[in-house]
């Protein structure tokens, strides 16, 4: 069970729409689809699938894809998108609602996609390691795992460690029905060396410029770095096929890159 008891994507239904309005990038999705084609993968698992930013294009490219997510609100939005696509593509998709940290993952996949900075959803290196371990169990022998995260090496950046200062954060924005969300984050704990960061989070919901709801919760994060991922891959004896410095202006990984993207084989 995850240390974080609250999934911030499941606090307020409009969060899913705000997510889709903000996260519109497609370079990583195209990158993943090219890898799946190049390496002959047919059957794909995407834990942390959210509203389907990666999952739906995978299905539209004729791969069979299973998504896992534990936010009912994100899955509801994903479901309504799935209803709008042709039935032959819809048949490529299966969605499982569950917490990746305690669910028994399905298996026999050609590839598992740990994309979209998904390790940042998890509270500790142990949780991240357990997710990679489950990905290892879900993929066939000779199958592939894609891992793509912001690269925070060695220590928490100083900018993360200004405690008790409130910052605007996700989810912030306006929805089609006029509802406005304002998210805030106050860092309350920062262990620079072990990269454990905790924050109090707050969400205000406005309708017609009047506040109608307010939610508060706490989160813990462990931003992962290249070296930690390398260590986990070695433990599982996964073969590194390639490492890039992200999927935007594609280049091989270099020290100091702000993103680390792995394609590894079991
Ligand atoms: C940043 S979104 C990413 C969605 C999608 N992969 C993308 O890149 O657009 C993270 C998703 O992970 C889900 N999530 C976070 N923690 C989870 C957990 N422990 N188990 C299952 N899903 C989780 C959230 O509900 C959310 O939908």
What pLDDT shows up at residue 1?
65
Q: 90 to each of 3, 47, 60, 110, how far by Cα in Å?
A: 34, 18, 9, 20
Contact assessment for residue 251 and residue 148, using Cβ atoms and an 8 Å cutoff: no
Domain ranges of the chain: 8-154+223-265, 158-221
Any ligand 1 atom below 6 A from CB of 23: yes
Q: Which of 6, 48, 65 to mutate to test the pocket of ligand 1 (most atoms within 8 A of CB)?
A: 48
Q: Which of 50, 132, 171, 217 to mutate to test the pocket of ligand 1 (most atoms within 8 A of CB)?
A: 50
For the chain, 266 residues long, give each residue's pLDDT as a single digit of tens.
689 999 999 999 999 999 999 999 999 999 999 999 999 999 999 999 999 999 999 999 999 999 999 999 999 999 999 999 999 999 999 999 999 999 999 999 999 999 999 999 999 999 999 999 999 999 999 999 999 999 999 999 999 999 999 999 999 999 999 999 999 999 999 999 999 999 999 999 999 999 999 999 999 999 999 999 999 999 999 999 999 999 999 999 999 999 999 999 99
Q: Show the beta-strand stretches assigned E in the chain.
A: 43-47, 64-69, 93-97, 109-114, 139-150, 167-174, 180-191, 196-207, 210-221, 239-244, 259-265
Q: Which residues pair with 44 in a beta bridge?
A: 65, 111
For the CA of 49, the nearest atom of ligand 1: 6
Q: How far is it, in rounded angstroms, from Cα 51 to Cα 65?
A: 14
Q: How far is it, in rounded angstroms, from Cα 106 to Cα 112?
A: 11
Q: Is the dihedral of CA 136, 140, 141, 143 positive or negative?
A: negative
Q: Is the dihedral of CA 100, 104, 106, 111 positive or negative?
A: positive
Q: Could you tell me the fold of the domain covering 8-154+223-265?
A: Rossmann fold (3.40.50)
Quickly count: other Cβ atoms within 10 Å of residue 163's Cβ.
12
């Amino acid at each position: 069970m995850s240390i974080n008891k609250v999934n911030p994507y499941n606090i307020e239904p409009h969060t899913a729409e705000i997510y889709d309005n903000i996260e519109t990038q497609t370079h990583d999705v195209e990158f993943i689809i090219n890898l799946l084609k190049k390496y002959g993968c047919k059957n794909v698992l995407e834990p942390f699938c959210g509203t389907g930013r990666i999952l739906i294009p995978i299905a539209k490219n004729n791969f069979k894809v299973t998504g896992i997510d534990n936010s009912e609100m994100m899955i509801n939005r994903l479901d309504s998108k799935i209803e709008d696509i042709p039935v032959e593509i819809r048949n490529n998709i299966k969605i499982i609602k569950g917490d990746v940290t305690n669910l028994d993952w399905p298996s026999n996949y050609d590839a598992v996609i740990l994309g979209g900075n998904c390790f940042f959803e998890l509270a500790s290196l142990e949780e991240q390691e357990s997710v990679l371990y489950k990905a290892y169990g879900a993929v066939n022998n000779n199958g592939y795992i894609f891992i793509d995260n912001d690269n925070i090496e060695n220590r928490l950046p100083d900018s993360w460690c200004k405690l008790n200062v409130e910052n605007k954060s996700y989810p912030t924005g306006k929805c089609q029905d006029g509802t406005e969300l304002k998210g805030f984050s106050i860092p309350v704990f920062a262990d620079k060396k072990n990269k454990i960061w905790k924050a109090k989070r707050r969400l205000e919901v406005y309708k017609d410029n009047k506040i109608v709801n307010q939610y508060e919760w706490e989160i813990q994060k462990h931003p992962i770095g290249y070296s930690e991922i390398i260590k986990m891959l070695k433990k599982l004896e996964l073969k590194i096929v390639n490492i890039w410095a992200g999927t935007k202006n594609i280049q091989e990984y270099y020290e100091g890159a702000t993103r680390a993207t792995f394609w590894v084989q079991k």
